[in-house]
Structure 1
Amino acid sequence: MSLDKQAAAFTKSVQAQANFSGPRRVAAPTTSTTPAAASTPTTAPKRKRIVDRTKPVAPPIVYSQPTDTSLGTQHMMTQVHHAIQHLKQREVPQTPEQIASYLSIQMTPTLLQVLKQNERLTWNPAQGTLEYKPIHNIRSAQALLAHLQQQTTAQGLSVKELKDGWAGAVETIADLEESGDILVTRTKKDNQPRMVWINDKTLDIIVEDEFKAIWHKIVIPPPGDLPGELEKAGLKPTSVDPATIKKEVKGGAQKGRKRAQNRRVKVSNVHMNHILKDSKDLKR
């Protein structure tokens, strides 16, 4: 038997053992065993969602409602500010309807409650009105004089505080100052009233003309000669240090320093005289 015949016989036997001569079969997909999965092999299988029950679940967001940005509160406080300024300028009580009409706003129950509780406003439940409460309840010349007369100290009253809630404070102060009812201090820059006091006219003293003439006859020396004139009169000027004033020495010019006299010193170490004497000799 030749070599070619042996190779052909070997190939035939191998094909017979592997059954290569039968029809070719296609293997089914291993991703799913159901018929539906086999018919649609391109569709990915759905995974089951696992929810962790230990974590708190956030409430769902409702997008139909706007987020609270506190704009409503800011708008209300702006309305309160304008209402207070309006009552401060009017200086008379106003009803909530009058305030709302002037500011062109709607007086809601919440806004009215905030105005009632404001410390700068006074609510009158009998009349149903709101009024601005100034620092001092003074809005007339009579009220100002009465307040100054009741003061127990000489501290005075600030004009800045009087102007709070009283638009005519400056004009009234000028009239009372001209009539002599009050005393006023003013600023140097623009001559505006700063502090006011009551002018107690019972302390006014009538000075006779004769005494005024004597007073004006007294000649006051220049400021540079005033300390010397006071010294001549035996007085000590308050603007000069008394230690710097030279006093005249009786009996002539001031003597020089006396020479210091030698004082005798009692020797207590007599028993060491020989030692001290030897040490002095050595130094020499």
Structure 2
Amino acid sequence: MSFLKSSSGPVAAPSPTPSTSSNSNNKRKRPIDDVPAGTVHSQPADTGIGEHMGTTFGWAIKELQRRDPEWMTLTEIFDYLGPTVRDNPQRRGQLKLILQSPSSERIEWDGEDKFRYRPKLPVRNAEQLKGFLQQQKSAQGILVKDLKDGWPNVQEAIEVMERKKELLVTHNKKDGSARTIWMNDPTLMHKVDPSFLNEWHKIPLPANPDDLRNKLVAAGLKPCSAPKEIVPVGPKEKKKKVPRRGGRQTNTHMAGVLKDYSHKRK
């Protein structure tokens, strides 16, 4: 059984087979390194702006608003929307009907082949703003945010017209920007004589409000800050409780049979 005896020294592990890459100093290249420079990989197809007709119509309105007041032809609109509309006759026909429909409130159609954006208010410059305000039949102000729909730079024009006294303007407290405007007639603006202003400001006002009230009362005037007289109100009289009457009597046909207990009512 000599073959079962252990050897005199430790058994060495077999050495791995040397590979070509381990002997050389060159690093193994990744597959991507073998691709020539300038190679264009696969890209998703240009599908335009979406396939839903509502989305397509929304993008068309945004482009018309961006180009306002310019007109766009149907071909220009189809080219902007991309191949999903341009290369699809059915979708082109659907969009054409929507653009030409009277229910499209934000689209203006010339009756032939051109379209443009229709803002909330037909105002795009200062002259149109004056004409629009002159046509108003009420004293209701015009919101500046509605004017911005068709005139993005309306704030600058409002500041110029306000300095010329052509507009009455209310401003936002946060940033001082114009909020609401009304028509104004500069010919009705009159300057006060400086001498009158000087005499007006020379009139001293009493520091104590009570003194001012007393002077007004002495002059036979009723001051707005007069104390309100409190009229004493007496206690309200309590209503006497009316005794409750009996309910509707029934069984009258048995009056001679039943006993009468009406005298015992409280």
Match of 1:96 among 74, 79, 96: 74
Mapped to 2, the partners of 1:119 and 1:138 lie a distance apart of 16
Structure 1 unaligned spans of 5+: 1-72, 245-284
Q: CA deviation at 1:221?
A: 2.4
TM-score (normalised: structure 1): 0.55
Q: CA deviation at 1:239?
A: 2.5
Q: CA deviation at 1:159?
A: 0.8
Match of 1:75 among 52, 57, 71: 52
Please list, as runs of the form range in 1=range in 2, the aligned pairs for 1:47-196 lying within 5 A after superposition. Answer: 75-91=52-68, 92-105=70-83, 106-107=85-86, 108-117=92-101, 118-126=104-112, 128-196=113-181
Q: CA deviation at 1:113?
A: 1.0
Q: CA deviation at 1:102?
A: 2.5
The structure showing larger relative contact order (alpha-carbon pairs under 8 Å, at least 6 residues apart) is 2
TM-score (normalised: structure 2): 0.59
Q: Per-residue CA shift, 1:167-203, capped at 9, x if unaligned?
A: 1222221221122211110111222211101121221
Match of 1:233 in 2: 219
8 Å Cα contact 1:94/1:130 also seen in 2? yes
Please list, as runs of the form range in 1=range in 2, the aligned pairs for 1:18-37 lying within 5 A after superposition. Answer: none
Mapped to 1, the partners of 2:174 and 2:202 lie a distance apart of 36
**Letter paired with 1:78:** T
Runs of 4+ deviating beyond 4 Å: none
- Distance of aligned partners of 1:227 and 1:103 in 2 relative to their CA distance in 1, 3 Å threshold: farther
8 Å Cα contact 1:236/1:242 also seen in 2? no
**Secondary structure, in 3 states, of the residue corresponding to 2:222?**
coil
8 Å Cα contact 1:89/1:165 also seen in 2? no
Mapped to 1, the partners of 2:111 and 2:78 lie a distance apart of 18
RMSD: 2.1
Structure 2 unaligned spans of 5+: 1-49, 87-91, 231-266
Considering only CA atoms, is the larger Rg found in Structure 1 or Structure 2?
1
Q: Count the aligned residue pairs.
A: 171
Structure 2 residue 196 is the aligned partner of structure 1 residue 211: yes
**Letter paired with 1:209:** P
Mapped to 1, the partners of 2:138 and 2:204 lie a distance apart of 38
- Distance of aligned partners of 1:100 and 1:74 in 2 relative to their CA distance in 1, 3 Å threshold: closer
Match of 2:47 in 1: none
